[in-house]
Structure 1
Amino acid sequence: MTNSAATGREKVQQMLDWTVAEVDVPGIVAEVRDGHGTWFGSAGVADIDTGRPRQQGEHLHIGSAGKAFTAAAVLHLEAEGRLSVEDSVDKWLPGVLNVNGYDGTKITIRHLLNNTSGLFITGLAPELSQRYATRSAFAEHRFDAWTKDELLKLTVSQPPVGEPGAAFAYSNGGFYLAGMIIEAVTGNSYEEEVARSIVHPLGLTHTYARAADDTGFPAPYPRAYSGLFMKEGVAPGDITAENWESMYEEPGLPLLDTTEYNSSWAWSAGNVVSTTSEMIQVFRAFASGSLLPPAQHREMWTTVSTEGGHWMPHAAYGLGVFELDPAVTGGLPLRGMGGSMQGSHCVVVGTPDGEQVIAVHTNTEFKTWKVMFKAIEAQFGTPPVEGL
């Protein structure tokens, strides 16, 4: 483990200041836990109108970092002998995938959780884009609550992108199905199972899976701001994995306040609220193996290549979590989880023993991978990553 005293807290603070100055982020926080204790830093504001600074203990939407919670809940059920990650989807949800070219007998729970199911990239579905892709659509639909039937319909609304197990393609739909399997196996709600398998065992008091009708946060929390919108007039059906970046608004437009917003469309693919300190606690349990038995811990961190999957560079994907390529970390093994949605981006990265961890949050969505890699460089003393 690299010596954080050598890298210095000042380097993390410099990264925070750089992000606000150079990346058009209203506010950013970082919390560090390592052998030298806990440190918290911030830059920018929690509220553009009042200038209120960001603070420790804010409740945050963690986006797709919630996928790790879903994976852990499934693995907890496997440890109890109630399912296997090698079970087919059809075993627990008979017939739900027998549509549009899918075969539920061939797609396993493992495929769902490591994004190799062959399900198409759900985030590009026109049915989702038409509700949120433009500013006008977001204003009209921001408080829409999604039912599980609607999420299932969304999951299979386009044909497969490949055979099960063949390649990585980042699909929220796979995690919707995993959430439905959790409910089918237990008879409990997904939210209850997240609490039973993760929140309660870890003694978390500020972390929960959001209810379908929830549109706010407990205090304290930062305002959320988004500039992630398509140009007005863009047809959702024209958006592809290759051209989506060119479809976005030109930079420089005012950010839209998206704090009060129904995020039930994310559900078991990432609809968890937490704090930076509790996310560090969760990461340490996931990374080190203190929450799950050894067999399930190994499964969580058995990774697949993400090459060609239109996702994070220099990373391999496990079950809801990622590992960075040692070639870009100077040989230091680093694990993580993270996610982004309108007005929020959270990433947590640390050593496999959980002894050195940094959690970073911006009150706007993902802007550039430079933020995460600069945070890693500042905390862990890794070399700069070129070409981002």
Structure 2
Amino acid sequence: MTGREKLQQVLDRAVAEVGVPGIVAEVRDANGSWFGTAGVADIESGARRQQGEYLHTGSSGKAFTAATLLALETEGRLSIEDPVNTWLPGVLDVNGYDGNKITIRHLLSNTSGLFATGLAPELSHRYATRSGFVEHRFDAFTTEDLLRLTVSQPPVGAPGERFEYANGGFYLAGAIIEKVTGNGYAEEVERRVIRPLGLAHTYVRPSGDTGYPDPHPRAYSNLFFKDGADPAAITPENWESMMEDPGLPPLDVTECNTAQGWSAGNVVSTTGDVIRFINALASGSLLPPAQHREMWTTVSIEGGYWMPHARYGLGLFEFDKAGLRGVGGSLWGSWFFAVGTPDGEHTIAIHTNTEWKSWDLMFKIIEAEFGITIGA
């Protein structure tokens, strides 16, 4: 069996055994490109998934934020060692945080000591259950809302002490971009990342945008807690046990406002564009050597309730032994990841039109494509 036959087999199993409605994989290497699919883009019509679909990339957008800040550093506009208070005085000086001790580097590496923003009761009460999601799916968030959410719970540790995946750190990073430049976050990402790399099908989703350009798949979610679950009791340790019955039919969540992602992950793109993006970040062709080294100076994820067998850089990750570099993210009805070799010569991008199911699926895809067993 060839490598691509193995990969197609994993895609087929994702649909048949894991419960993914539809999945796509795009590969680029020295031999050219390959594109494979399994399942459907639309459960009702049975329409197949296709190349060139517009997709929500979730927390892959964090790497766009980090790259934009590092581009500003190359111009001498800021340093990633700047304390947050240098640019946003007082914003962090509440609830036990200290904006003089938390730096931009801490924000981008998820080592700021900020709590896991996604577990904030304000968000959990809106979106934790199916009924809550249906009621709040079009809610909008301002930058002020997101910054207030960022510090709504006390710290989980001192700056630099540990890894804790916190969208709030990237909200602060987005606000710093706007403060430094005087321009909107989306405008700066367009200017410093999207246009230089020629990402013609990539954009930061505007607040209030609730749809996607064609072609795009429908998005389906089972990412809800059981009815009656108390969002205030949800922790990184117990959340999986509080999820609803996996046998329930998925909810179509295609039309919704994802403004809460903002600078922590609200980029719409295609598998092809993200391959070009991660190749540039992995190989160092977007940023000068100093900023490239900063982006890939990684920290341990151990104990941070995130992906196993990996280390985190600035908005992206690297597998600790496999040597592959990548970006990824998940939200309602979408799971996206792209990983490749550090030279940018062999890369795969994957999307499912439902959220993350298990790390095992990701690792099986990587093993089929690269012949590398993650965690071995």
Q: Structure 2 length normalisation: TM-score?
A: 0.99
Q: 1:193 aligns with which of 188, 194, 219?
A: 188
Q: 1:225 aligns with which of 196, 220, 238?
A: 220
Residues 1:361 and 2:356 are matched in the alignment? no
Q: 2:41 aligns with which of 46, 50, 55?
A: 46
Matched letter for residue 50 of structure 2: Q
Quick one: distance in 2 between partners of 1:39 and 1:95?
Answer: 50
1:145 and 1:212 in contact (8 A); partners too = yes
Matched letter for residue 249 of structure 1: E
Q: 1:114 aligns with which of 89, 109, 129?
A: 109
Q: Report how many aligned residue pairs link the two structures.
A: 376
Partner residue in 1 for 2:342: 352
Q: 1:66 aligns with which of 61, 65, 69?
A: 61
Equivalent residue runs for 1:125-136 within 5 Å: 125-136=120-131
Secondary structure of 2:240's counterpart equals: helix
Secondary structure of 1:68's counterpart equals: helix
Matched letter for residue 353 of structure 1: D
Partner residue in 2 for 1:243: 238
Partner residue in 2 for 1:25: 20
Residues 1:267 and 2:257 are matched in the alignment? no
Equivalent residue runs for 1:80-91 within 5 Å: 80-91=75-86
Secondary structure of 1:77's counterpart equals: helix
Quick one: distance in 2 between partners of 1:385 and 1:346?
Answer: 21
1:110 and 1:319 in contact (8 A); partners too = yes
Quick one: distance in 2 between partners of 1:294 and 1:385?
Answer: 29
Q: 1:343 aligns with which of 313, 316, 333?
A: 333
Q: 2:290 aligns with which of 295, 298, 310?
A: 295
Secondary structure of 1:358's counterpart equals: strand
Quick one: distance in 2 between partners of 1:289 and 1:344?
Answer: 28
Secondary structure of 2:141's counterpart equals: coil
> Which 10-residue stretch deviates more, 70-79 or 229-238?
229-238
Q: Deviations over 1:292-323 (max 9, x none)?
A: 01100110000000000000000000000100
2:210 and 2:256 in contact (8 A); partners too = yes
Gaps spanning 5+ residues in structure 2: where? none
Residues 1:169 and 2:159 are matched in the alignment? no
Quick one: distance in 2 between partners of 1:147 and 1:216?
Answer: 19
Query: How far off is 1:385 after superposition?
Result: 5.0
Query: How far off is 1:213 after superposition?
Result: 1.1
Quick one: distance in 1 between partners of 2:375 and 2:366?
Answer: 10
Partner residue in 2 for 1:320: 315
> Residue 45 and residue 314 in structure 1: after superposition, are their counterparts in 2 closer, same or farther (change >3 A)?
same
2:24 and 2:37 in contact (8 A); partners too = yes
Q: Structure 1 length normalisation: TM-score?
A: 0.96
Partner residue in 2 for 1:99: 94
> Residue 80 and residue 384 in structure 1: after superposition, are their counterparts in 2 closer, same or farther (change >3 A)?
closer
Quick one: distance in 1 between partners of 2:18 and 2:349?
Answer: 18
Quick one: distance in 1 between partners of 2:23 and 2:227?
Answer: 29
Partner residue in 1 for 2:207: 212
1:61 and 1:344 in contact (8 A); partners too = yes
Secondary structure of 2:350's counterpart equals: strand
Matched letter for residue 319 of structure 1: L
Query: How far off is 1:12 after superposition?
Result: 1.1
Secondary structure of 1:316's counterpart equals: strand
Quick one: distance in 2 between partners of 1:93 and 1:72?
Answer: 20
Matched letter for residue 212 of structure 1: S
Identity of aligned pairs, percent?
70
Quick one: distance in 2 between partners of 1:228 and 1:131?
Answer: 13
2:301 and 2:312 in contact (8 A); partners too = yes
Gaps spanning 5+ residues in structure 1: where? 1-5
Q: Deviations over 1:45-73 (max 9, x none)?
A: 00000000000000000000100000000
Matched letter for residue 354 of structure 1: G
Matched letter for residue 277 of structure 2: V
1:7 and 1:380 in contact (8 A); partners too = no
Query: How far off is 1:383 after superposition?
Result: 2.9
Partner residue in 1 for 2:249: 254
